[in-house]
Structure 1
Amino acid sequence: MYEFSNDKLLMIHADDAGLSTSENQATIEALQTGSVTSYSLMVPCPWFYEMAQFALANPEFDYGIHLTLTCEWKNYKFGPVLSKEQVPSLVDKNGHFQKNRALFQEKARVEEAEKELSAQIEKALDLGLKPSHLDCHMYSVATSAELISAYKNLGKKYDLPVLLSKELMAFVGFGAETALEDDDLLVDHLYVGEYQYFEKGNLKKFYGDILDNMEAGFNMILIHPAFDTHEMKSITEDHPNFGSEWRQQDFEYFTGQECKSKIKENGIQLVSWKDIMSYKT
């Protein structure tokens, strides 16, 4: 069981480290100078090794494995760490991950997905990484009750908490009641930026309103900090949702003074996964 105090506990978590060097450098700066308290690494991505070296050299920062089963980008592709022959249901004709959750759900076999996710964790461990938790890119694990169960089993196998959230499940269209159990560790309130706010230029206000109205319990804000460089523009071409400009705004807000002031003014306590696990009874 996990019993959280009446305090406003907040984890500001940076997804997608390893996606690009721009993502890596922004994540590092957000950890060192901003309010970000946790991040997770995408093992299959080309720039994973750069961020892994940072993690090894800076163990004081909390990090997990961003388990990856999809690749949404138009011109930037990656695939499983296992060979396509070992996990044929996870890849397209070119050996890359499927581009969205719908295609993944249609084609993927649960046993192959679990095998690939285990291989990603093992690859990180073989480098000497000591992750604090597991989470999932695009929350693709929430495409079936069987896959959610496999995801939770990986947490048990490696003795790591897994990110479970009713809000995330609803976001990807999955009914939480079919997959959650009474003793699961759940995020009480999880927030992800919404495209409507970005499109209208109100993304930073969206984040500020969350901080001003935060409730007690285990809160999490998922962000994707990166610099709006040529590299990120190329990766996110024709994909403004969580695109390069959006990621720059994430970086700016969560390293800025307004964010720090609101956290202090609203009596919010920043936490990592390691802190959260101390609440286990």
Structure 2
Amino acid sequence: MNGIRLLTRADDAGMNTTANQAIRAAARQGIVRNVSVLACGPAVKDAVEVLGDLAGTVDFGFHVCLTAEWENLRWGPVSEKASVASILRADGTLPFTCEELAGLSPDPDNMMAEIGAQYEYLCSLGVTPSYLDEHMGVGAAVGLTDRLEQFAREKGLVYNRGLIASGAVKPVPGWNGPAEHPGTELADALAEAGPGTYLVVGHPAFKTPEMERTHLPGRPTGEAMIARNRERRMFADIEIVDYCDNVDVELLRYSSFA
């Protein structure tokens, strides 16, 4: 073995059907071993159907979500809207960004109530999370890190932010994400990094009409599709799969840190 241990995570399962299918491919054909699920995502039930049989091969995570970043793919809370009004836009959807959420001066108890509702809903769908992480790093933006750490501890979940803070995992040195040759680029970055325990996070997608339409405010259609297709490929291209196999990279699940 070359001493590289790699914690590979695919985020945003439940966002749309394209993401669900791409995450499945990245796990079945590639090196993804952890899948973070959006309980409030419009396609979360499809995610459970598409990804459910991966249990035992991957760990599922509770992807705490208090934002909805897309211009044309909006979602709201799992809770009754009136009960968490301080965290919502006027149209009843979650804010686009963490900064917008913070600007609402949200009630911390409203935020934790919604987080609790998301967790319970995810479990009710048959998902058994092993870890907790945050969509868009929302915990730090709104001062919830301590409460999220406590929540994770109470639920028996590995707390992603805590792993990073402790130094148990770290980013791949020099890795800034995929470009034209995703699998080769990640393999080269790992070879350059040498022994260590690293975290690589992506948001897999395919090039589909559904994903082409999905865009951030002020950004062109197709931009996110191209970027997220590359993130799928960094996990599933034959170059990264062969590299991990040939040099015995140890692919980790969050449960190994429990």
TM-score clears 0.5 = yes
**SS across alignment from 1:36:** coil
Select which of 95, 98, 111 maps to 2:95. 98
CA spacing shift, 1:149–1:85, aligned 2, 3 Å: same
Percent identity reads: 24
Aligned residue type for 2:213: S
Question: Alpha-carbon deviations, 1:192-221, whole Å to 9, x = none?
Answer: 9747x64xx475565233322234343110
Kindly tell me the number of residue pairs found equivalent between the two proteins.
252
1:154 deviates by 1.1
Q: Is the 8 A contact 2:213 2:222 kept in 1?
A: no
CA spacing shift, 1:242–1:126, aligned 2, 3 Å: farther
**SS across alignment from 1:86:** helix
Other-structure match for 1:36: 32
CA spacing shift, 1:129–1:202, aligned 2, 3 Å: closer
Q: Give unpaired runs (5+ residues) of structure 2.
A: none
CA spacing shift, 1:23–1:115, aligned 2, 3 Å: same
Select which of 74, 81, 84 maps to 1:84. 81
CA spacing shift, 1:212–1:255, aligned 2, 3 Å: same
Q: Is the 8 A contact 1:211 1:266 kept in 2?
A: no
1:31 deviates by 0.9
Other-structure match for 1:213: 192
Aligned residue type for 1:147: L
Q: Is the 8 A contact 1:211 1:262 kept in 2?
A: no
1:54 deviates by 3.6
CA spacing shift, 1:119–1:193, aligned 2, 3 Å: farther
Matches of 1:242 and 1:67 in 2, distance apart?
Answer: 25
Task: Give the 5 Å matches for 1:257-272.
Answer: 257-272=238-253
Matches of 1:205 and 1:165 in 2, distance apart?
Answer: 30
Task: Give the 5 Å matches for 1:1-281.
Answer: 7-60=3-56, 61-107=58-104, 108-144=106-142, 146-164=143-161, 186-190=167-171, 194=176, 198=179, 201=180, 206-236=185-215, 238=219, 243-277=224-258
1:35 deviates by 1.0
Question: Alpha-carbon deviations, 1:110-169, whole Å to 9, x = none?
Answer: 22111111110000112222111111111111114x4001111110121111111697xx
TM superposition score normalised by structure 2: 0.87
Q: Is the 8 A contact 2:183 2:235 kept in 1?
A: no
CA spacing shift, 1:207–1:98, aligned 2, 3 Å: same
CA spacing shift, 1:40–1:166, aligned 2, 3 Å: closer
